[in-house]
Amino acid sequence: MVLGQVKTAEKSNEITAIPELIEALDISGVTVTIDAMGTQVAIVDKIIENKADYILAVKGNQAGLLQEIQDEFKFSKQTLSVTDMDLDHGRIETRTCSIISDFKFVNLDKKWKNLECIVKLDSIRWETFGQTPKRTTQCLLVKY
């Protein structure tokens, strides 16, 4: 479903278009989800200004932020985790969702307005027995 669209200027990208789109839409009271490209302090500020919540992906394009999150999960003792396992269609997949809302080692909440928690989603998937499993990790900034 497309809610809005903004034409970007030549030699521009979605980082400049997202704030315009946020202003054009009534996002008050909703949760805005954006991929890693849109995980920018200015965009978070605009979301908060418009009284909305956010879930933002963090990947390698934000190497410093990604490292801070990884360090928080490595050293924090205040992690809430839930693991789920599926066996379906000849595959086994284990998914673990870990959440930290009390930041001890990283001051993410000072830079990212109203940040309430960081989330790490780990997945291990075996296509067939005996093969090397495929591992993926996603990190998210969340204000809900």
* Residue numbers of the domain that contains 61: 14-143
Is 65 part of any domain? yes
Q: List per-residue pLDDT tens for the chain, 144 residues long.
A: 777 787 877 777 888 889 999 999 999 999 999 999 999 999 999 999 999 999 999 999 888 899 999 999 998 887 899 999 999 888 899 999 999 998 877 766 678 889 999 999 999 999 877 788 999 999 999 999
> How many domains are contained in the chain?
1
Beta pairing, strands 53-58 & 79-88: unpaired
Is 21 part of any domain? yes
Token pair 């930290």: residue? 100
Classify 138 as helix, strand or coil: strand
Is 3 part of any domain? no
Calculate the dihedral angle through the C-alpha atoms of 72, 57, 39, 66, rounding to the nearest 10 degrees. Answer: 30
Is 8 part of any domain? no
Is 1 part of any domain? no
Could you give the C-alpha distances from 111 to 25, 28, 74, 78, 142, in angstroms and in order? Answer: 25, 22, 21, 21, 13
Is 91 part of any domain? yes
Give, as one character, the DSSP assignment of residue 16: H
d(C-alpha 31, C-alpha 28), whole Å: 9
Does this model's pTM top 0.85? My answer is: yes
Is 6 part of any domain? no
